[in-house]
Amino acid sequence: MIKKLEIEPIPLTEGHSKLVLKVEDGIITEGFYYALVPVRGFETMLLDKEATFAPIAASRICGMCQAVHSIAVSRAVENACQIEVPEKAKKLREVINLSVRVYNHLLHHILISGNIFKNDKERFEFIKSVQKIRKTVSSILEIVGGGTIHPSNIVIGGISSPIENSVKERLLKMIEEIKSLAETEVKTFIEYIEKVWKERNLPETLGKHNLPFFSLKDLKSSSLKEIYPQEIFEELPLKREATNTTILINGKGAETGARARKVTDGKFKPKGGIKELHILRAQEIVPSIKKIEEILEKDTFEKEIRNPTFPTSDNETVGIGAVEAPRGVNIHKVKVDKSGRITYYKVMVPTAINMIAIAESLKGERAEYAEIIVRAYDPCIACSTH
């Protein structure tokens, strides 16, 4: 006999969501995961607004993925309006994007720490180390981006505020102080993930799916289609409740994020499962910090790093801006008219791509593992209901 289980909300994730499971003899035969957060209408809100306003508005889509939205929409407008961005501005945007990646990955470690640490003292010591790293990364976002939550320095044409060498040196000193701490944090996290799997006798392939992977490298060769809950769900309550869209890649579901980035590099063959996903996400932290350090060491950013050209276009060209956000490929599309106003705006976010991957990962697993499978994807529900 098939039973229906409903879990709401899903704790330790970003935003209000719901999980509906069909279970037979304790095994999930079908899983539906979707957002319950009210849609705020950013795509409509930006219509007829000046394109220069786009990075400011886009950073409000989410408090976690703020800068990546600003970078993506800036790239989209620049693409539509054929605005060349100075190379140094591109490098600082990369610093900001990598900082957001580290900041988010570490928050995920805090969120699931209660699931992996049995000893509260060990857990709180771990969290203290994580927060020390996040504090430094937050300072990088404040200085380079102009804010941790709403980064005002990301503008159409580049970066609005140069960085004095003395400030850059201070940033490099801060980074040097957290590198070894980050290496220890990642090592500890992975050791505890391995320990949890061993102690609980969890399958190595828990949460495995057979869907393809999608990263920024696949964007040009892929077709993307946004579908709505009414097109996915047959049951009326799900149709009425779900507020997120879902993205199909080449007509099917896909996984995007840390594992997809690794897979599409061409040197990694995934075994599947959420344990691997946790580990691969953690392994991005130290290289991201080192890349930030490398960018800042190799260049100076004291002079103006912005193309001041006012954005105008033909109202026909679709500008596309894409960024590898912490959770995967984040895409913004815009059209701009001759007066510099936005006439079309579309956002496609990583969590919307991963919704089908999450559902597929649930199938065939024990119902008791459902929540930890969902959390392994670190879904950002606010983004998926923009």
Q: Is the peptide bond before 203 cis (omega within 30 degrees of 0)?
A: no
Q: Phi and psi at residue 335, in whole multiples of 5°? A: -120, 140
Question: What is the full DSSP assignment across 33-75?
Answer: EEE-SPP--HHHHTTTSBGGGHHHHHTTS-SSSHHHHHHHHHH
- Going by C-beta distance under 8 Å and a sequence separation of 6 or more, which residues neighbour residue 275? 193, 197, 202, 204, 206
What is the largest distance, in Å, between two alpha-carbon atoms of the chain?
Answer: 69
DSSP helix/strand/coil, 297: helix
Residue 92: phi, psi to the nearest 5? -70, -35
127 — alpha (psi -120 to 50), left (phi > 0) or beta?
alpha
Rounded distance between C-alpha atoms, residue 379 and residue 151, angstroms: 22
Residue 81, annotated as binding a ligand: no
Q: Is 62 annotated as a binding residue?
A: yes
Q: Cα–Cα distance between 1 and 22 in angstroms, integer?
A: 10
Where are the strands (E) in the chain, listed by range? 2-7, 17-24, 27-35, 154-155, 158-159, 224-227, 246-249, 305-306, 319-325, 328-336, 342-348
- Pairing between β-strand 328-336 and β-strand 224-227 as defined by DSSP bridges: unpaired
347 is in an annotated binding site: yes
Gyration radius of the chain's alpha carbons: 21
- Give 193's Cβ-side CA count (13 Å radius): 23
Contact 277, 258 (CB under 8 A): yes
Q: Is 386 annotated as a binding residue?
A: yes
Taking each helix axis from N to C terminus, what angle separates 165-199 and 120-140, rounded to the nearest 10 degrees? 150
Q: Is 340 helix (H, G, I), strand (E, B) or coil?
A: coil
Q: Could you identify the residue written with the tokens 């407008």? A: 77
Q: Is 383 annotated as a binding residue?
A: yes
Q: Which residues are annotated as a binding site for Ni(2+)?
A: 65, 380
Q: Which residues are annotated as a binding site?
A: 43, 62, 65, 347, 380, 383, 386
Q: Which residues are annotated as a binding site for Fe cation?
A: 65, 383
Q: Which residues are annotated as a binding site for Mg(2+)?
A: 43, 62, 347, 386
